[in-house]
Amino acid sequence: MSSEIRVDEKLVQEIASLARLDLTEDETRVFVSQFKDILDYVSILNEVDTENVSPAYLSSSSKNAPREDVIEVSVPTEEFLANAPESKDDYVLIPRVHIEQ
C-alpha cells in the first residue's frame, strides 16, 4: 500500500484542507514523519489474501432494527439553542458564508 504513496508536506496540506484543519508548519512537519511510519506499519495487511472475502462492516450478525417513524415532542428549541455559540430568535446564527470581494 504505502510503498507507492509519496508522503510529503504537500500531501499533508491537501488532506488538512479536506479535513478543515488549519495546521501549523510544525504540525505539518511532524505529521509527515508520523504518517510514513503509520502507513508503513499498516501495509502489513498486504500479506493477507482477501481475494474472495466480503468486507465485514458491522460488528454483529444481528440486523439493524429501526423504529417506526412516529412524530413526537423533541427538544425544546430554547434548550437546544442554549449550546449554540450565537442565536437569534429561533435560529442558530453563523458568520457570512461569502464575503464580498
Partner 1 sequence: MKLHELTIRETHELLSSRKISSEELTRDYLERIQRLDPQVKSYVTVSEDVALEQAQKADECLKSGEGLTPLTGIPYSAKDSISTRGVNTTCSSKILENYKPFYDATAIKKLNSANSVLLGKNNMDEFGMGSSTENSGFFTTRNPWNFDHVPGGSSGGSAATVAAGLAPFALGEDTGGSVRMPASFCGVTGLKTTYGRVSRYGLIPLVSSFDTIGPMARSAYDVALVLEAIAGHDPKDSTSRVESVQSYSESLKKTENLRGLRIGIPKEYFVEGLDKEVEASVRTAIKQIEGLGADVVEVSLPHTQYAIPVYYLILFAEASSNLAKYDGVRFGLSERTGDLMDVYLKTREAGFGAEAKRRIMLGTFALSAGYYDAYYLKAQKVRALIRQDFQKAFETCDALITPVAPTTAFRIGEKISNPLDMYLSDVFVVAVNLAGIPALSVPCGISNGLPIGMQIIGPHLSEETLLRIGYLYQSQTDWHTKHPPCW
Nearest to 35 by CA among 70, 53, 10: 10
**At its nearest, how many Å lie between partner 1 and the CB of residue 89?**
15
**At residue 98, what are phi and psi to the nearest 5 degrees?**
-120, 135
DSSP of 73-91, one letter per residue?
A: ----HHHHHTTSSSEETTE
Contact set with partner 1 (CB under 8 A) = 1, 5, 11-12, 15-16, 18-24, 27, 31, 34-35, 37-38, 41-42, 44-45, 48, 50, 53-62, 64-67, 75-76, 79-80, 82-86, 92, 94-99
Q: What's the min distance (Å) between Cβ of 71 and partner 1?
A: 14
